Structure 1
Amino acid sequence: MTEIRVGLIGAGYIATWHADALKATPGVTVAAVCDVSEQAARGLAEACGAQPFTSVEALIESGCCDAVHILTPPQMHKPLALQCLEAGLHVLVEKPVATSADDTREILAAAEAAGKRFHAGHNFLGLPSYERMKRMMQEGTLGRVLAAEITWALPLSPLRSGPFNIWLLREPRNLLLELGPHLVAFAVDLFGTPKVVFAEATKPVMLPGDDPRPQALRILARAGDVEITFTLSMVETQDDRSVTLRGSSARARLDFASDVLTVERENTSDLVVNPLRKQLDLSGQHLREGLRNAWTQASSLNQKGPYGLSFRGMDAAVYGTLTGPQDARFSGQSAVTVMQAIDDALDLLPPEQLEPKAPAVQTRPPAPTAMVIGGTGFIGRALTRRLVADGHDVRVLSRGRHGPFPDLPDQVETVGVSLHDLEALTEAMTGIDVVFNLAKSLDTSWTDALVNDVGVATRIGMACEKAGVKRLVYTGTIASYDMSDPGVTITEDIGFPEDMTDRNLYARSKAECEHQLMRLHRERGLPLTIARPGIVVGHGGPLQHWGIGRWHGAGAVRIWGPGNNTLPFVLIDDVVDGLVRMAARPSAIGESFNLIGEPMLSARGYFDAIHEALGARIRVSPGNLTAFYLSDAVKYGLKKYALRKRGVVRPSLADWKSRAHFTPFANDKPKRMLDWHPETDRAAFIEKAITRANLFGF
C-alpha cells in the first residue's frame, strides 16, 4: 500500500491533535507542517519528523504531500482549499469549512473539477460511541425516533475575559459558525437535510466598547418526522455536550465529550420492580462505560482520550476510503448541507444581533508615549484603559491588528510586531517613554522557555535601551518564590532559590527573565522596575482561576492544599494602579514590588463569598499536595521513559506546596515607596472581586 503523505497548514493548538491522530492512522505519514511562524512550523515538524514550510506555495512546489489538513483561522479556509485543490492535493478542512454555504459549494466544485477529495473536519462523528448510537438507530433498537436534542453547553471564557481579538469574537455570527457545525453535523449524518424553523440568541455579554455577543443560541429544525433542538450555551455552566435521541422503544444519550453512550429502556417487570430494574440497568451501563474509558486511557498512557479518539476515527474513515467511495460523514456534500443549515439559522436571527457594533470614528491619529506588550490580556486591557484615562496615548503590541479597544481609536493603536525581531521592536518603541511588558509564554520544555520567554524578555529590554525608553516595567510572578513554609513572611528582600531546576517551567522561566533584566540594569543602566502581582481578581478575570486550584468545569474545583490559609488576592484595579505608580516614580528604578492586596480571604472563604454573593455553590475539595506530587512523578516517568518525550520537567514537593501559597506576603514596600493603597474593606473587595466581576456570564 502506498503511504499517503499529509501536510498540516497551520501549526496552532488544533494542529497537535491532527498530527497525533495522523501518526496513529495506518498508511498515513505527516510529511509537512506549514505556518507563517517559522518557529511554530519547525517545532511541530520536528516532533512529527516532517518538513517545515512558511508558505503554502513552497509546500506545494516541494511535491512532498498528497493531501493537506487546513487548520488556519476560518476566513482563510476557502482560499487555501481552492489553492491546494487546484494544485492537485486532497484537502481536509477544519470546521467551519468556510464562512458560508456558498463558499463551501465553491470548494466542493473545485474538488470535483480537480478530481480530488474535499473532507470536512467534523471530528466528533468519528467517535466509537457515536458509531454505536447510529447503528442502534438504523437497526431499530430505539424504535421510531421522534425527537433529537443536540447540545453544546460549555463555558467559553474568552467571551468574558478575553482574548477579544480572536476570529471567534470578531462578529456575533462567528460564534454559531464556529460551534454550530459540531451539532448540525450530527443531525445531517443521522437524519439528512434539516429544515430550520426557529432561531434565537440570548444572554448577551458586552465586549470592550459595549459590543454585545450572545452567549446562548437555540435553534429548532425538522428532518422528516424528527423534531430537532440545537442548544448552544457558553456561560459558566455544567459541561453538557450531548446527543439525545428519543425513540418509541428507548432513549439514547451520547456524551460526546466523554465518549459515553447510555440507553434508557422500559422493562417488563411489575410496577414495584420496574423502576428498580431501570435504574440498575442505567447504573450498569455507566459503570461499563466508565471502566471502558478508564482502561482505554490507562492502557494508552492517556493517548486515547475522547477528543483524540474522535480525530483518529475521522482520519481512519477519510484515508481508509481515499481510493474508494467517500465516507458520507466527512464528505464535501455533507459540509455544504451543514453550512446551509447554519446560514438558514443566521437568516432567522434579527439582523441587529449579527452586526458588530461599528467602531468609533477616529478623529486624530494616536500619539503614543506608552507601550503595553501583552495589552490584550486581562491585566493589559485594564492597564491600557487606565493609561488612557490618565491622559496617555498607548501603543499596544499584539499578534494581530485587532485589539480590544474599538471605542478608543484616538488614544490606542494596535500594532503587530514579532517579539523575536529586535529591530522591529526598537522601531515600534520610537517616541515611547515607558514600556510595560506583560507578555508571557506557556512552554513545555526549558529549551522553549529560554527562547520564547527569557529570550523575548531580554530582547525587549535591549530594544528599550536602543530606543531610549525612559522606563521598562516588567511583570514577573509571585509563583517564582518558594511559598511552601507558613512560618516565613515574604518581602522583596527575599530572593528566589538559587537552584530553580526543580520548579515548574512558568515559575522558573519568569525568575530567569528577572535575572537577565536585572543584569542589564546593573551592567548597562536599563531603567527597569519589576512588578509581581498576586492572584488577580475582578471584572474581566475568569471564574476558573488556576491560581486557586485545579478546576473540573465551572462547578467543581480541587483547591491547592486544605484551603484554609489566606491567599494573596489583589484586585485588578489595584494592580493597574501599582503599575502606573511604578512607571512614574524615579525611585522605583532598579526595584521590585510584590503587588499583594490586604489579607482578605482563604480559598474556602473565596468560594463561600461566591455562594453568598451570587447564590452559586461550587463544589470544593481539598487537594493533597503530596498526592499531587506523587501522581506527577508517575506521569513524569511515563512521559520520559514510556513516551520518550524530551524536556519533561518534574516539579519538587516544595513547588507543589508553593501553589497553595502557604507563605504570607508583606506589602509594606509598595505602600511606602509608591504610596500604593490596595482595597482594605472586605465588603468592598468582595463587591469588586465577585459581585461585579460577571464571573458566570449572566
Structure 2
Amino acid sequence: MTPTRIGLIGAGYIATWHADAIAATDGANLAAVCDTSGAAARALAEPRGVPAYDSLAALIDSGTCDAVHILTPPDSHLALGLQCLEAGLDVLIEKPAALSADETRQLRDAAHRAGRHFRPGHNFLGLPSYSRLKALVASGDLGRVSAAEITWALPLAPLRSGPYNLWLLREPKNLLLEIGPHLAAFAVDLFGPLDVIAADASKPVMLPGDDPRPQSFRILARAGDVDVTLSLSMVETVDDRSVTLRGSSGRARLDYAADTLVVERENASDLVLNPLRRQIALARGHAREGLTNAAIQVRSLNMRSPYAQSFRGMCAAIYGSAPDERYDADNAVQAMQALDDALALLPTDTLIPKAPAVATRAPRPTALVIGGTGFIGRALTRALVARGTDVRVLSRGRHGPFPDLPDSVETVGASLKDRAALVQAMDGIRHVYNLARALGTNWQDCLDNDVAPAVTIAEAALEAGVDRLVYTGTIASYDMSDRFGRITEAKGFPNDMTDRNLYARSKAECERRLMQMHRERGLPLTIARPGIVVGPGGPLQHWGIGRWHGAGAVRIWGRGDNILPFVLNDDVADGLIRMAESDVALGEDFNLVGEPMLTAQGYFRAIHERLGARIRVSTGNLTAFWAADAVKATLKRRALGRRDVIRPSRADWISRAHLSRFDNTKPKDLLGWQPVSDREAFLRAAIDDAGLFGF
C-alpha cells in the first residue's frame, strides 16, 4: 500500500505530537508543514526533512500531500477544512472540528461531495486501553451497561494566570467547545447519539476586566438505556480524566490520562471473603496496569507516553488498511450536536462575554511592555496606567487582557525577530520593558528564540531612541547552592554556564550581550531579576518552589527549611517602573526580592491554615535528582543519539532550593523600593487574594 502523504497545517505545540505519531505509523508519511509563520513552519519541517510553506495555497499547489491535519485555532477550522476538501485532500481536524454541529455537517457534506474523508481529531479514542474498554462493552463482559460517567478534571492555568489572549478564553462557550469534544466523543463512540437532558455551568472565575468564565460544566444525557454524565472541571483539583462504566456484571474505569483500565467484578465468595477478594482483584488490576505502563516508558525512554500513544493509535486507525468507525464524520457531528444541545440549556447570561469598556479617546502610549499579557506584565501594565502612563502592549495577538482600559492600553502584534516592526512599535515610546522569554529544548533553540530576540529588541530600542530599556533576567542564573552564602548584585554569575539549566543559562547570556551593548554602544539599559513571584493571578503550581504532581502534591526542592526569595507581583511592577524612571538605575542591575518571610514548608503551612487545603509536601533529595538527571542525559546521548543534551551539574540542581540568602539593599537604597514587609499583608496578597485554587 502506498503511504498517505500528510501535511500539517499549523506548527504550534500540538503539531509536534502529530508529526511524531505520523512518523511512527505504517501507511503514513509526513510530507509538508504549513504555517502563516514561515519560521515556525521551518522549525518543525526542516529537522524532519520536509518542505515548509507559509500559505495553504502554496501547499495545495505543490501537490506534495494526499491529506492534511488542520491544527490551527478552532475558529479557522471550517474555512480551512472546506478549502482542503475542495482541493481533493483528505482532512483530519483537531478538536473541536468546528464551532457547531451545523459547521461540522458542512465539513461532512463537503467531504461526501468531493469523494474525500473528513475525520475529527479525537485522539484519546486511539488509546490501547480504550480499545480494550470498547471490546469489553461489545463482548458483554460488563453485562448490561446502565450508566457512564465521563470526566475531565484538570486545572486550566490560563483561567487564573493567563495568557488571556487564547481562543478558548474569548467566550465562555469556548471552554466547553475546546475540551467537551473529548468527553462527547467517548460517549457517542460507545453508545451512539446523546439526548441531552440538563446542563449546568458553575465556579466562575473573573478574567481581567471582571469578565466571568465558568470553570465547571456538568451535562446529563441518555444514549438509549444508558444514563450518561459528562463532567468538566478546570479548577485546581486532583487530575481525574476517566471513563467509568457501570454494568450488571462489573464496573470498568478507564484512566485515559494514564492509559490504564481496571475492571471490578462480582465474585461468588461468602460475605466475609467477598469484599477481601474484590479488593485483592482491584489491587492486582492496578498493579498490572502500573507495571505495564512503567515497562513501556522505560523501554521507550518515555517516548511513548499515554498522550503520545493516543496520537499514534489515532493515526494507525485512520491510515490503516480498514476504515475505523471511531473517526467517522457522523460521530463528529453527533458529538458536536451534544455540546450544542448542552449550550442551549445553559442560562444566556452564562454564555455572553462582558462587553469591553467603550473607548473615549485613543491611547497615547509612552511605555511599551513586551510580554504584557503574562503574570508580571499584566501587573506592570495596570500599575503604569494607575500612575497616568498610557501603555502599548506587544503581544502575539490583538486580544489582550485589558478590555477595561481602552483609553489607556493598546495591544499590537509584532514578531520579536522583526527589527523594523519593533522600531515601529517603539514610535513615541520612552520606556521599553522586555519581559519576554522563550523556553528552548536545546541551546541552539535558546540562542535563536530567546537570546536573538533580546538583542533584536535592544537594537530596535537604540534605533528608536528610547530613554530606557528594562530587561528582566532571573535569579535562577545565580549559583544558589551555598546554604551560608549571601547574594547581592555584585556576586555575578558563574563563568561557565554550560552545565546550568537552559533557562538560567539563556537569561544569563541575554544579560551578558545586552550589558556589552550598553558599554560599547550606549544602550540605555537596566536589568531586573525578580525572585519567586506570587500574588493575585499567579499559579498555585509554582515550579520555583518544587516539582508538582497535580494540585495536591509537590516535592519541594531540598528540605524546604530555608527562607525563599518570595516577592509580590505588585512589588515587582513597582520596582520595574522605578528602574525605568530613575537616572541612577542606568546601567545597573537589581535583584527584586522581597523581605525574608517564608520557607517552602512555611508557605504550604500558610496555605493550609488560611485556605483549609492541605497539600501533600515531600522533601526532595537534590543530589538524587542530579544523579537521575545524569543517567537520563547519558541514555539520551547514547541510546537516542542526542548531541544537544546538557551536562547536568549538582550545583545547578541544588541551586533550585535557593539555599543562599538574597540581600535586597541595592534596590531599596538606590530606587527607594519598599516591598511589603508586614507578614500578614504579604500572606493576604500571596495566598488569600491570589485565587490559587480558582474558587
Task: Give the structure-2-normalised TM-score.
Answer: 0.99
CA distance in 2, matches of 1:393, 1:650: 45
Is 1:675 the counterpart of 2:637? The answer is: no
Which residue is 1:274 aligned to?
A: 274
Instruction: State how 1:129-144 maps to structure 2 within 5 Å.
Output: 129-144=129-144
Report the Cα distance in structure 2 between the residues aligned to 1:643 and 1:85, rounded to whole angstroms: 38
**Change in 2 beyond 3 A, CA 1:148/1:161:** same
Q: Deviations over 1:276-329 (max 9, x none)?
A: 0000000000010011101111111111111111111111110004xx5x3111
Aligned match of 2:601? 604
After superposition, the C-alpha distances for 1:328-351 in whole angstroms (9 at most, x for unaligned) are 111111111111111000000111
What letter is aligned with 1:537? V
Contact 1:70–1:91 (8 Å) recurs in 2:
yes
1:461-472, aligned counterparts within 5 Å?
461-472=458-469
Shift of 1:28: 1.2
Q: After TM superposition, list the pairs within 5 Å mapping 1:76-155 onto structure 2.
A: 76-155=76-155
Q: Secondary structure of 1:151's match?
A: strand
Q: What's 1:557 paired with? A: 554
Distance 1:673 1:466 in 2: 28
String of CA shifts for 1:392-422, please: whole Å, max 9, x gaps.
1000000011100000011000000111011
Cα deviation code 1:526-571 (max 9, x no counterpart): 1111100000000010000000011000000011111111100001
Contact 1:244 1:253 in 2 (8 A): yes
Counterpart of 1:374?
371
Residue 310 (str. 1) matches residue 307 (str. 2):
no
Question: Shift of residue 452 of structure 1?
Answer: 1.1
Cα distance in 1 for partners of 2:241, 2:79 equals 31
The letter of the residue matching 1:262 is: V
The equivalent residue for 2:445 is: 448
2:431 aligns with 434
CA distance in 1, matches of 2:434, 2:598: 29
SS in 2 for 1:320: coil
C-alpha displacement at 1:586, in angstroms? Answer: 0.5
Q: Which residue of the partner structure matches residue 68 of structure 1?
A: 68
Counterpart amino acid of 1:48? R
Name the SS of the counterpart of 2:79 in structure 1.
Answer: helix
Matched residues, number? 695
Question: For residue 493 of structure 1, what is the amino acid of its counterpart?
Answer: A
Amino acid at match of 1:270: D
2:401 maps to which residue? 404
Asked if 2 retains the 8 angstrom alpha-carbon contact of 1:30 and 1:49, the reply is no
Cα deviation digits, residues 201-236 of structure 1 (max 9, x gap): 000000000000000000000011111011001000
Q: 2 CA distance for matches of 1:318 and 1:635?
A: 34
The Cα shift of 1:646 comes to: 4.2
Q: Which residue, out of 329, 332, 348, partners 1:332?
A: 329
State the secondary structure of the residue aligned to 2:199: strand
- Residues 1:417 and 2:410 are matched in the alignment: no
The answer to which of 39-48 and 243-252 deviates more is 39-48
Structure 1 Cα separation of the partners of residues 426 and 270 of structure 2: 80
Correspondence for 1:571 among 568, 582, 591 = 568
* Identity between Structure 1 and Structure 2 (%): 69
Q: Distance in 2 between matches of 1:152 and 1:615?
A: 24
Query: 2: distance between equivalents of 1:140 and 1:166?
Result: 43
- Residue matched to 2:319: 319
**1:652 is matched with which residue?**
649
Q: Identify which of 378, 388, 393 aligns with 2:390.
A: 393
Q: What amino acid does structure 2 have at the position aligned with 1:580?
A: I
**Structure-2 separation of matches of 1:156 and 1:535:** 21
Q: Residues of 2 paired with 1:54 and 1:623: CA distance?
A: 46
Counterparts of 1:266 and 1:2, CA distance in 2: 49
1:205 is matched with: 205
| Equivalent-residue separation in structure 2 for 1:662 and 1:370 (angstroms) | 36
Aligned partners of 1:573 and 1:608: how far apart in 2? 23
**Deviation (angstroms), 1:47:** 2.6
| Runs of 4+ residues deviating >3 angstroms | none
* Partners of 1:46 and 1:487 in 2: CA distance: 48
Choose which of 477, 482, 490 in structure 2 pairs with 1:480: 477
SS in 1 for 2:662: coil
Higher mean displacement: 181-190 or 257-266: 257-266
User: Which residue does the alignment assign to 1:53?
Assistant: 53
In 1: Cα distance, 2:513 partner to 2:303 partner: 38
Alignment-derived partner of residue 544 in structure 1: 541
What does 1:486-525 align with in structure 2 at a 5 Å threshold?
486-525=483-522
Distance 1:436 1:358 in 2: 29
What CA distance in whole angstroms lies between the structure 2 residues aligned with 1:640 and 1:29?
A: 26
Conserved 8 A contact 1:473-1:582: yes
Secondary structure of 1:342's aligned partner = helix
Question: Over the residues paired in the alignment, what is the CA RMSD in angstroms?
Answer: 0.8
How many Å separate the matches in 2 of 1:84 and 1:173?
Answer: 27
**Residues 36-47 of structure 1: pairs in structure 2 closer than 5 A:** 36-47=36-47
Q: Which runs of 5+ in 2 are unaligned?
A: none
Whether the 8 Å CA contact 1:374–1:380 is kept in 2: the answer is: yes
* Uncovered stretches (5+) of structure 1, i.e. residues with no partner: none
* SS of residue in 2 equivalent to 1:174: helix
| SS of corresponding position for 2:165 | coil
Task: Give 3-state SS (helix, strand or coil) of 1:385's partner.
Answer: helix
Deviations 1:247-271 (A, max 9, x none): 1111111111111111111111111
| Cα distance between partner residues in 2 of 1:485 and 1:310 | 44
Q: CA deviation at 1:487?
A: 2.1
Deviations 1:82-141 (A, max 9, x none): 111111111110000000111111111111111111111001111111111111111111
| Cα separation, 1, equivalents of 2:469 and 2:103 | 47
Q: How far apart are the structure 1 equivalents of 2:250 and 2:36?
A: 51
Q: Which amino acid aligns with 1:249?
A: S
Amino acid aligned to 2:438 = S
Residue matched to 1:635: 632
**Which residue in 2 is equivalent to 1:299?**
299
Deviation at 1:638, TM superposition (A): 2.0
Q: Which residue number in structure 2 is paired with residue 692 of structure 1?
A: 689
Distance 1:267 1:290 in 2: 23
The 5 A counterparts of 1:235-254 are 235-254=235-254
Q: Is the 8 A contact 1:504 1:650 kept in 2?
A: no
Return the alpha-carbon distance in structure 2 between the equivalents of residues 27 and 226 of structure 1. Answer: 37
How do residues 165-184 of structure 1 correspond to structure 2 at under 5 angstroms?
Answer: 165-184=165-184
Name the TM-score, length of structure 1 as normaliser: 0.99
Cα shift at 1:641: 2.1
2:396 partner letter: R
Deviations 1:55-101 (A, max 9, x none): 11111111111111000010111111111111111111000000011
